[in-house]
Amino acid sequence: MIQFSQPVAPEFNVVNNKVYLDVYDKFNTSLAEYSPLWVITSQFTKKTKAWVVSTTWTNKERYVEMNTVTTYAPTEEIGNKIILGTTDYPLGFYDVTIYQNTSNTNTDPSGLNVLYTGIMNLTTTDSKLPVQYSEYTTNDSDTESVYITF
């Protein structure tokens, strides 16, 4: 699972979300100079966002380093800098598909080679969890009951 973090306040203006995946062997080598295209779909809202990541090829035999910058500023979505944690792109789970791109500006996945599919979890830089869980402090002798806590 891929983990992304989103800044929650202007004092934490951006967060670098680096992902290291062993996908170079899936590249068509004639197009390996272009940075991959990422497409995410919120499992909650079903909204989709596509962007081209910043890529480092230094250790490509072991992994491809892909960097996405999440930002708090609502008008700064350029290149690999995106805005998440909004009503359309809330915290939580996303379906992720990473494609081999045909240019460093293409955001259309039609006809592109799929490098990776998986799940991403979006959290915030805030230390508070979106859901607070309570831990049991005692154990009763009734082992067949199920308890739901909030």
Q: What percentage of the chain carries pLDDT values higher than 70?
A: 80
Is residue 139 a part of any domain in this protein?
Answer: no
State pTM to two decimals.
Answer: 0.80
Confirm whether 137 is domain-assigned. no
Question: How confident is the model at residue 100, as a pLDDT?
Answer: 94
Backbone φ, ψ for residue 3 (5° rounding)? -115, 125
Confidence of residue 32 (pLDDT cuts 50, 70, 90): confident
Residue 31 forms part of a structural domain: yes
Domain presence at residue 131: no
- pLDDT, tens only, 76-130: 788 889 989 888 999 999 999 999 999 999 999 999 999 999 999 998 877 555 5
Domain tally, the chain: 1
- Does residue 129 belong to any structural domain of this protein? no
Greater confidence (107 vs 8) lies with: 107
Range list of β-strands (E), the chain? 2-6, 14-21, 37-42, 48-52, 54-56, 64-71, 81-82, 92-99, 114-124
Asked if residue 100 belongs to a domain, the reply is yes
* Weakest-pLDDT range from 17-31, 54-68, 76-90, 127-141: 127-141
Q: How far apart are CA 70 and CA 76, in angstroms?
A: 10
Tell me the CATH number at 66.
2.60.40
3-state secondary structure of 98: strand
Q: Which residues constitute the domain of residue 23?
A: 2-124
What is d(CA 123, CA 121) in angstroms, rounded to the nearest whole number? 7
Residue 55 lies in a domain: yes
Structure tokens at 67: 């960097």
- Domain contains 138: no
